[in-house]
Amino acid sequence: MWSNEFYLKVIKMYPLEKFYIYFSPYTAHAIDIDGVVYPTIEHAYQCQRYTDSKIIEEIRNAHSPVKSWEVSSKYKHLQIPEFKSEDHKLQVMKKLMRLKAEQHEEIKQALLDSGDLKIVKHIVTYPPGDGFWDDGEDGKGLNHTGKLWMEIREEYIVSL
């Protein structure tokens, strides 16, 4: 299907490739955490940064995932100290991604259907990629989003 051999071994979440866009934290797949519903993983992730209920509700009610990020950014000075730790950020995101897959069968199925392909979060739009969650546009980023999805996929495969 793809002419470039690289693309035969890699799934990029952006641009929209088949159902792999499901792996984006921005898709409209709400997740329920202890009875509280968040419109997207991005909304939930940004909310996890804070303890102030007013800030959390403002983020949770943002009309889009990008807006939730923007709202969160304006309160960054008030985020919990744990969010300075990369390990903490990764643990929170992995938990949210796992919930997304558990609560939406099509996400779990897309993950299993991806086989052993490498999953890459590649961003060329706003907000710009930071090289932590994505491949940094030049392919040199850490791609933690893709790595976490591959870890979750492996957990599902092992449990089959």
Task: Give the 3-state DSSP-derived string for 78-132, with helices as H, strands as E and coil as C.
Answer: HCCHHHHCHHHHHHHHHHHHHHHHHHCHHHHHHHHHCCCCEEECCCCCCCCCCCC
CA dihedral 11, 12, 16, 22 (to 10 degrees): 70
CATH code for the domain in which residue 12 is found: 1.10.357.40
Domain count, the chain: 1
Number of H helices, E strands in the chain: 7, 4
pLDDT digits (tens, 9 = 90+) for 41-88: 999 999 999 999 999 999 999 999 999 999 999 999 999 999 999 999
pLDDT in tens, 146-156: 999 999 999 99
Strand, helix or coil for residue 69: helix
Question: Would you place residue 124 in the very low, low, confident or very high pLDDT band (cuts 50, 70, 90)?
Answer: low
Band the pLDDT of 8: cuts 50, 70, 90: very low
The domain containing residue 46 runs over which residues? 5-159
Entry pTM: 0.86
| Spatial separation of the C-alpha atoms in residues 89 and 46, rounded to whole Å | 10
